[in-house]
């Protein structure tokens, strides 16, 4: 089975300027994801998708040329309103050309996923025959979630909210999970399936620990990721 990793990294981050090339423990952020994919057993090709020549030059410094290939995106294709799922569907034939089998989408903003976790997600796909997406547990029970009201009050998101029932013991709350963006595994052919709306359609969750799931979205996230790398 052919397995192709796809790592998108556009330039022009607004919340954290230069985020994808920002150094994390001495390596540009995007490199962490490229290396995890390139080092995972079974991955035979890594497609780096970018609109930046500088990003491409950095990628080639860390990943061997026989395993790495470029998907060049135009400014329109790399805009901040373009969803990666929509781009994968619309440009599927150009991105993967004659390649078939399975693709792995790995977002560079989740740098601490490891090669062995990529391998485990692939193994889950092979075992179940279903697409896979990685996820992690919420750090606080979502049963306590509420909306702010216009009158400065609040409205619970769930009818049986512990803020209403009074059952506030943390051990009584049902665990909840969310996608973490680290790993998606799916057949390339699925991208041409009419009616496919998300990479979660018909997919199984692969659970990851919180430390491996840190998503770099702001300056604080960088500090957390650097501390975790140091603790390793």
Q: Where are the domains of the chain?
A: 3-138+175-226, 142-171
CB 78 within 8 A of CB 51: yes
Spatial separation of the C-alpha atoms in residues 120 and 116, rounded to whole Å: 6
The continuous run of DSSP H or E covering 93 comes out as helix 92-96
What would the two tokens of residue 124 be? 């889950």
Cβ-Cβ contacts under 8 Å for 40 (sequence gap 6 or more): 5, 115, 116, 118, 119, 122
Confidence at residue 79, expressed as pLDDT on a 0 to 100 scale:
84
In order, the DSSP letters of 18-37 are: TGGGSEETTEEHHHHHHHHH
SS3 at position 5? strand
Confidence at residue 1, expressed as pLDDT on a 0 to 100 scale:
82
- φ/ψ bin of 75: left (φ > 0), alpha (ψ from -120 to 50), beta (otherwise): alpha
- Condensed to tens digits (0 to 9), the pLDDT of residues 121-170 reads 999 999 999 999 999 999 999 999 999 988 789 999 998 999 999 999 98
Q: Give the Cα-Cα-Cα angle 215, 219, 222 (nearest 5 degrees).
A: 50
**Is the per-residue pLDDT at 232 higher than 90?**
no
- Condensed to tens digits (0 to 9), the pLDDT of residues 139-152 reads 999 999 999 988 78
Across 79-229, where does the E strand assignment appear?
102-105, 132-137, 146-148, 154-156, 177-187, 204-207
| Average pLDDT, integer, range 223-231 | 94
To the nearest 10°, report the CA torsion of 105, 224, 144, 148. -90
Q: Which homologous superfamily is 3-138+175-226 in?
A: Spore Coat Polysaccharide Biosynthesis Protein SpsA; Chain A (3.90.550.10)
- Condensed to tens digits (0 to 9), the pLDDT of residues 95-128 reads 999 888 999 999 999 999 999 999 999 999 999 9
Q: Which of 224, 203, 9, 206 is nearest to 112 (CA)?
A: 224
Confidence at residue 231, expressed as pLDDT on a 0 to 100 scale:
87
Average pLDDT of the chain to the nearest whole number: 94
In degrees and rounded to multiples of 5, residue 109 shows phi and psi of -80, 0
């Amino acid at each position: 089975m052919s397995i192709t990793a796809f790592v998108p990294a556009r330039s022009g981050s607004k919340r954290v300027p230069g985020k994808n090339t920002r150094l994390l423990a001495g390596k540009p952020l995007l490199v962490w994801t490229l290396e995890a994919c390139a080092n995972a057993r079974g991955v035979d090709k890594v497609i780096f998708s970018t609109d930046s020549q500088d990003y491409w030059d950095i990628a080639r410094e860390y990943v061997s040329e026989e395993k790495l290939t470029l998907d060049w995106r135009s400014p329109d294709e790399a805009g901040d309103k373009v969803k990666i799922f929509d781009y994968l569907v619309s440009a599927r034939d150009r991105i993967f050309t004659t390649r078939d089998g399975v693709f792995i989408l790995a977002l560079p903003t989740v740098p601490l996923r490891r090669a062995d976790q990529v391998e485990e997600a692939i193994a889950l796909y092979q075992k179940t025959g279903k697409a896979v997406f990685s996820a992690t547990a919420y750090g606080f029970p979502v049963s306590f979630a509420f909306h702010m009201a216009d009158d400065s009050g609040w409205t619970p998101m769930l009818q049986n909210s512990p803020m209403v029932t009074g059952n506030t013991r943390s051990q009584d709350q049902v665990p909840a999970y969310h996608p973490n963006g680290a790993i998606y595994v799916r057949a390339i052919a699925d991208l041409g399936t009419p009616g496919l709306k998300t990479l979660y359609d018909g997919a199984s969750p692969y659970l990851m620990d919180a430390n491996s799931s840190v998503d770099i979205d702001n300056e604080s996230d960088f500090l957390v990721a650097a501390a975790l790398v140091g603790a390793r």
